[in-house]
Amino acid sequence: MYKDSLDPLQAKSLADLWASKECQKYLVPYLKEALSNKWVDPLTFPNQEEFYRAYLQYRARAVVYEELISFLSSQKDKYEALKKKEAEPKKDYGY
């Protein structure tokens, strides 16, 4: 999976982005607000099919925002783990 294949520089860049004042002040609150339940009013749709389509769109958006928050917020730990692994001596199997 892509998110597990980052190199340390990429993970650090994403961790820095997440920790930035602008991200914490604007992006994080926006994403968290978007995750809150925004009930789709079935009375505003002409039929059940359009209501269900709108419901699925809201749900899909919430899942994506939740994944984005999780991905970005985990980058500091991933960066530190990658740096630690990189600092370990390389194993020599005598080949």
CB atoms within 10 A of CB 73: 14
pLDDT at 69: 92
DSSP 74: T
What's the pTM value of the predicted model, to 2 decimals?
Answer: 0.71
What secondary structure does DSSP assign to 8-65, as a single string? HHHHHHHHHHHHSHHIIIIIHHHHHHHHS-----GGGSSSHHHHHHHHHHHHHHHHHH
The one-letter amino acid at 34: A
- Per residue in 32-90, pLDDT (tens digit) is 888 776 778 899 999 999 999 999 998 888 899 999 999 999 998 888 888 888 888 87
Residue-range domain boundaries for the chain: 6-85
